[in-house]
Structure 1
Amino acid sequence: MKLRDLSVLLGVIMIIAMLVVPLPGWLLSILILINITLALIVILVSMNVQEALQFSIFPSLLLLLTLFRLGLNVSTTRSILSKGEAGGVVDTFGSFVIGNNALVGFVVFVILVIIQFIVITKGAERVSEVGARFTLDAMPGKQMSIDADLNAGLISEQEARQRREKIEQEADFYGAMDGASKFVKGDAIAGIIIVLINILFGVVIGMVQMGLSLSESVEAFTRLTVGDGLVSQIPALLIATATGIIVTRVATTGNLGSDVSGQLLQYPKLLIIAAGAIFLLGLTPINFFLTTFISGFLALGAYLLMQQAKEPDIPDIEEEVESESSAMKSQENVIELLNMDPIEFEFGYALIPLVDASQGGDLLDRIIMIRKQLAIELGVVIPVVRIRDNIQLNPNEYRIKIKGNEVATGELMLDHYLAMTPGITEDDLEGIDTTDPAFGLPAKWISEEVKDLAELSGFTIVDPPSVVSTHMTEIFKRHAYALLGRQETKELVDHLKESLPILVEEVTPEPLAIGDIQKVLAKLLKERVSIRNLPVIFETLADYSKLTDDTDLLAEYVRQSLAAQITHQYVNGSDMLKVITVSGQVEKIISENIQQTAHGNYLSLEPEVQQSIIKTIHEEVEKLALQEEMTIVICSPAVRMYLKQLIEHYLPDVTVLSYNELEPNVQIQSVGVVNVA
């Protein structure tokens, strides 16, 4: 343990001992001086900090100093009442303040207590209460502001994390200060009570036990009591003032001294007005020489400040240029150029109102909701979307990039609405023909004037922000597997480990590494299977990873374990599922042409057979599309993975399920069969 840490612990133990063990006068004098020193250090530090969080230990320190001061009060009271003395410091303070009049000294002490209790302590307590309440009320707004800046690309993920931590620390600090201010209030009340006890009981003890007369007893114990009160109330006054400074401090770039001098003297002409007012006071019976001296001093200060304002500091341009050029040549700036954003959203200048909150744009808020929605729906945290305008794009064009590669584009007309056709082959709705960017369906951009008519005709009307947010949602779903890397997988595993450590330890790092788990999860996401139910996924991996390390097979086992989830995903409110079945002949062909290698299994079919199977599935899919039915191909578990690999490049949106991935109560209706021509 470091010496500084040990000294604090010993100090707390000593404070507890002071409450019980009598202390000699010389030791009391040392402790009193230490108390005054600590109070001076605290108020100087509170005046020097630029924001309250730089002195975040203040609430706990306030408690310790209050306890130390009360311990001194107990020790000095014990010494005063039992011995009639409390050390040289107390006696000196009492004699200096009282002089030859005990009543005047007592009144001075009472005034100090009133100033501390009614003015400083009461004000600091109120400011602490209001500060704590407003800080807690402002937390949601500050969090949303951070999320908006993060989505806009104004700050990095690390900066956002630091700002969130600062907000949490502010809430904790002001909440603690709200309670800690009660220590100062209680200390002031205790000081008043202790003084009354010392005077009343001191006079009685002096007369009864020490044989002093009434006047001698009053003089002696009043001097000691006032001295004791002063040596405790002066540090208490400093600490109370420090509390008020801390809770009223507004975060700036300077300390209290620089802020006061900089802001109070920022208008030199006002000093001239003040100097004139003071000079006019000298024309009254007030001392003319004194008012003239003060007004002259103010006028001189105003003149010097005005001269200083006329000669602003001119920075050395050559030095700035040299420093900037050297910074551009540094290795760190070059390395930063290698960073690539996981997701980028670029748009033309005409689409700026989409993201500009001052123009009513809410795309940033929509992206936050999309990320939350996909976290619930897919169980994966979508990275921050970097948003920027690009003058190289057409004014109404936007594009979405995943890891630097363009994956989607689209165009918007902000003063129009997108009307989705209800299936009418011919319509006379006035508008600009286009295609829905999210699903590729025919649509029209229509104006505000024909919006009501389109709704009456059965068209689905979508505003431009909803169009682009829906498009982004579908793109994120489709490429979620590409956004899940090893680092993201490690974060998911660590989150699961907090609640189920034994389960995680059974899976990783042995027998599966993080990379193996990432491959399994990516395979699930690629086929739109949510990985939110990580406990079930890891239970399955724990059972089967001892039998095989083939991530493709492990993903198939996981899919079967998630049968209830997959069934609920594709069965909408009924127990009937319309599917395209795979004939036994096709399944036999696939199973007989599976090649097993040391690096995994793969399907090896003749090109003619492949084309025949793909053509048959494509024909059946088109039939279902005319009936507006969901396209699902179902087969046996042994060939599901290979059939999906066969058609995913040609028919990526076709879902392939196995019988083991559906619950037994689901009825399957075959609306088509896959055969080999």
Structure 2
Amino acid sequence: MQSASFSSLKLTQLPQLGSGARASMLPVLILALIALLVIPIPAGMLDMFFILNIAVSLLVLMVALGAAKPLDFSSFPTVILFATLLRLALNVASTRVVLVAGHEGPQAAGKVIEAFGAFLISGDYIVGLFVFAILVIINLVVIAKGAGRISEVSARFTLDALPGKQMAIDADLAAGLLTAEEAKARRQEISTEADFYGSMDGASKFVKGDAIAALLVLFINIGGGLILGTVKHDLPIGEAAATYITLAIGDGLVAQVPSLLLSIAAAAIVTRVNSGSALEGQLTKEFSNAAAWIPVAAIVFLLALLPGMPHFLLLGFAGGCGYVAWRLMRKTDIPAELEPMPQAKPETQEASWEDVVDNGQLRVDIGFGLIDLVSDAKGAPLVGRISGIRKQLSKRFGFLVPRVHIRDDVELSAGDYRISVGTQTLGRFSLEPGRYLAIEPGELYEKLPGPTVIEPAFGLPALWIGPEDKERAELAGYTVVDASTVLATHLSDLLADRMHLLFGQDEAGELVERLADDAPLLAKALTPDTVSMQMLTGVLRRLLEEGVGLGDFRRIAETICADANGGDSAAILSERVRRSLAPILVQDVAPIGETLGVVTLEGELERLLITPDPVADLDRLNVEPGLAQDIIAAMTKTAEDLATAERTFALVTAPRLRRGLFLLLKHHIPGLTVLSFDEVPDDKPVEILGVVGAGQKLEEAA
């Protein structure tokens, strides 16, 4: 065990030890490239640089083909820049050698140029010129131009899809599916992706310009060589043409081959789709389809029967395709040994208490079509997401959220699920396994066809799409999520508004026990000396019902011990606790240093709602049904107007009305904070954004 740790330590430290050396090498290499442009070098050293250029281009191509996604080779645009600069420097250096010493023969410019020129020309330099021109056309017109166009389109669509991806990350973070660190990493990834495609759009111009430069250098070498050979060195025109054209083509080919390799690498990078494997593995997986190979074998076999065709060659190819199809079909027919067949249950079973009593307080029932979401063989994506939700909600509300029991229910349809607390159903929805839900967050660049459904958590229109349409939907502006994310987000949204249903005496007792570890005297004075466990549970549940977390339980306990009287109800005690937590409640709406936006009720309306009975129920308003609907309509309009103006606010009212107004409005204005005048700290700056009166009109503050 120790040796393994020591080995891993050495491996992680080696790059750090060499990072300074690597950093200092880069300026040296740049200076060496510049030196090639201005300093004459001998033919032997030129051969060494040519071989280095070819090796670097091959290495870049191999790395590009092995990348699982474009960002795995994020330095590729910079690599293209330096590789292009190296080739141009070599072109200048080789041109100098060709023009200065070309009259001495093809060997004067070095072995590499001579070998490439002789190999391509094969004794006829006119044919060599045409072959070289074809290579340049392939590189310039087909590969470089295509890669540049793909880079341009990818950069534009990646930037257009950036807001939708940011919203998806924010939604996952809010639903507890991501931690803050994971969300930060994903934001960094999509930002890097946008920068990468933007850089590739520019880097593709280097590839195109390099191919054009190769043609110009070829003409310069030929024209300059003919002039120098005939005028300065008195060579016959035929001998000068043969010598300098051979050298020019060899020089151009030595530069064109690495350029072609880099163009292929650029095209391979920008045409890649993100996957979990390298290009070889992705192609192997996608071409491992026997149904595609069978017709290929049949058609090639029919071609072999046509008169004049190379029968034996075509029959060999047909046999090879048929053998591949046969092997793929055998592989498909092998039974999966790792997945046991489900055991058949007997048709009749005796009734038991398990059929009647379910001690799992929080439950998610799923149809048989959603079993893969919780299957270990499939990675159980839903289980991991629910664990993240429990962790986030527990931290936010200050107590441990009960475990979520997931079970299959034969009464549900294949893709249906139901979320319940005890016997109360909180929500349900229908998923389409293996498909994605494309949610419309706002304005779209393109509207996808298909029936519209309403997303269960936020109530936004959405539609189900196949995996093949996922990238198109993201580029169109949709927020695309998988089935497990839909269920997990729905669960998180439902629980965040109903945490009081999950809190009982056991959870209250656990809070008191943990308080006893840090403040034993306070815990002892809290219960049962001051309040019973039942009363304490009631107070805490009322706080949770209004979204108040129990993280500062020590302050809550101190307030109860200081202010509780023998005849106080849970309602009165919870209001006193809220006043002690006022700085925290206000901070949730307006952080420190910001002004608290406030909406109030008109004085006449407040006097109408306040009952003179001192022992009246704080949970009820003295209001007629018609007036209650008017208040709901006016406050809803107010909330919509302020949301449009991107203003956060709290409804502030008299202490006697606070709880009743919250219960009246909470289902119509989700997330509304209702404070009493006593809960606004004296040192908190306040801005009155509106006044709701009996006439149901919002009066904007001047």
Query: Is 2:578 the counterpart of 1:524?
Result: no
Candidates 58, 82, 92, aligned match of 1:74? 92
SS in 2 for 1:73: helix
Candidates 546, 550, 574, aligned match of 1:475? 546
Candidates 139, 164, 172, aligned match of 2:195? 172
Paired position in structure 2 for 1:141: 164
Query: Is 2:247 the counterpart of 1:224?
Result: yes
**Given the superposition, is the C-alpha separation of residues 245 and 522 from structure 1 closer, same or farther in structure 2, using an over 3 Å criterion?**
farther
1:38: how far off? 0.7
Paired position in structure 2 for 1:503: none
Paired position in structure 1 for 2:323: 300
SS in 2 for 1:289: helix
Q: Distance in 2 between matches of 1:219 and 1:388?
A: 78
Paired position in structure 2 for 1:349: 425
Check whether the contact 2:293–2:322 (CA below 8 A) recurs between aligned residues. no
**Given the superposition, is the C-alpha separation of residues 655 and 295 from structure 1 closer, same or farther in structure 2, using an over 3 Å criterion?**
same
1:350: how far off? 4.9
Paired position in structure 1 for 2:16: none
SS in 1 for 2:498: strand
Candidates 58, 71, 87, aligned match of 1:40? 58
Q: Distance in 1 between matches of 2:313 and 2:685?
A: 98
Check whether the contact 2:498–2:545 (CA below 8 A) recurs between aligned residues. no
SS in 2 for 1:196: helix
Paired position in structure 2 for 1:21: 39
Check whether the contact 2:500–2:544 (CA below 8 A) recurs between aligned residues. no
Residues 89-146 of structure 1: CA deviation (Å, up to 9, x unaligned): 0111101111210001111111000000000001001110111111111122222223
Check whether the contact 1:120–1:244 (CA below 8 A) recurs between aligned residues. yes
1:16: how far off? 1.4
SS in 1 for 2:499: strand
Check whether the contact 1:399–1:406 (CA below 8 A) recurs between aligned residues. no
Check whether the contact 2:172–2:489 (CA below 8 A) recurs between aligned residues. no
Paired position in structure 2 for 1:188: 211
The 5 Å alignment of 1:110-509 reads 110-268=133-291, 270-312=293-335, 314-315=337-338, 340-343=394-397, 348-352=424-428, 359-361=453-455, 363-364=457-458, 389=491, 399-401=497-499, 475-476=546-547
AA partner of residue 401 (structure 1): M
**Given the superposition, is the C-alpha separation of residues 292 and 9 from structure 1 closer, same or farther in structure 2, using an over 3 Å criterion?**
same
SS in 2 for 1:352: strand
Check whether the contact 1:279–1:291 (CA below 8 A) recurs between aligned residues. no
Check whether the contact 2:304–2:315 (CA below 8 A) recurs between aligned residues. no
Q: How many residues align?
A: 448
Q: Distance in 2 between matches of 1:263 and 1:652?
A: 60
Paired position in structure 1 for 2:119: 96
Residues 160-213 of structure 1: CA deviation (Å, up to 9, x unaligned): 333222211211111111111111011111111111111111111111122211
Check whether the contact 1:268–1:305 (CA below 8 A) recurs between aligned residues. no
1:360: how far off? 1.1
1:149: how far off? 3.1
Check whether the contact 1:51–1:252 (CA below 8 A) recurs between aligned residues. yes
Query: When the two structures are superposed, what TM-score results if normalisation uses the length of structure 2?
Result: 0.54
Paired position in structure 1 for 2:69: 51
**Given the superposition, is the C-alpha separation of residues 532 and 92 from structure 1 closer, same or farther in structure 2, using an over 3 Å criterion?**
same
AA partner of residue 205 (structure 2): K
**Given the superposition, is the C-alpha separation of residues 658 and 140 from structure 1 closer, same or farther in structure 2, using an over 3 Å criterion?**
closer
SS in 1 for 2:40: coil
In structure 1, stretches of 5+ residues that fail to align are: 319-323, 367-384, 391-395, 408-470, 486-520, 537-564, 580-614, 634-650, 664-677
Q: Distance in 2 between matches of 1:316 and 1:65?
A: 51
Check whether the contact 1:275–1:296 (CA below 8 A) recurs between aligned residues. no
1:44: how far off? 0.9
Q: Distance in 2 between matches of 1:660 and 1:31?
A: 73
Check whether the contact 1:354–1:362 (CA below 8 A) recurs between aligned residues. no
Check whether the contact 1:18–1:72 (CA below 8 A) recurs between aligned residues. yes
**Given the superposition, is the C-alpha separation of residues 108 and 354 from structure 1 closer, same or farther in structure 2, using an over 3 Å criterion?**
closer
Q: Distance in 2 between matches of 1:273 and 1:386?
A: 45
AA partner of residue 217 (structure 2): I
SS in 2 for 1:655: helix
In structure 2, stretches of 5+ residues that fail to align are: 1-18, 103-107, 342-375, 403-418, 432-436, 440-451, 461-486, 506-541, 556-579, 632-651, 657-673, 687-702
Q: Distance in 2 between matches of 1:78 and 1:231?
A: 15
Check whether the contact 1:132–1:175 (CA below 8 A) recurs between aligned residues. yes
Query: When the two structures are superposed, what TM-score results if normalisation uses the length of structure 1?
Result: 0.56
- The higher radius of gyration belongs to 1
Q: Distance in 2 between matches of 1:147 and 1:275?
A: 53
Check whether the contact 2:290–2:326 (CA below 8 A) recurs between aligned residues. no
Check whether the contact 2:499–2:544 (CA below 8 A) recurs between aligned residues. no
**Given the superposition, is the C-alpha separation of residues 66 and 405 from structure 1 closer, same or farther in structure 2, using an over 3 Å criterion?**
farther
Q: Distance in 2 between matches of 1:33 and 1:654?
A: 81
AA partner of residue 15 (structure 1): L
Q: Distance in 2 between matches of 1:173 and 1:26?
A: 38
SS in 2 for 1:349: strand
Residues 602-652 of structure 1: CA deviation (Å, up to 9, x unaligned): xxxxxxxxxxxxx99999x99x9999994389xxxxxxxxxxxxxxxxx98
Q: Distance in 1 between matches of 2:159 and 2:142?
A: 26
Q: Distance in 2 between matches of 1:229 and 1:473?
A: 76
1:2: how far off? 3.1
**Given the superposition, is the C-alpha separation of residues 56 and 308 from structure 1 closer, same or farther in structure 2, using an over 3 Å criterion?**
same
Residues 585-615 of structure 1: CA deviation (Å, up to 9, x unaligned): xxxxxxxxxxxxxxxxxxxxxxxxxxxxxx9
AA partner of residue 499 (structure 2): K
SS in 2 for 1:351: strand
SS in 1 for 2:427: helix
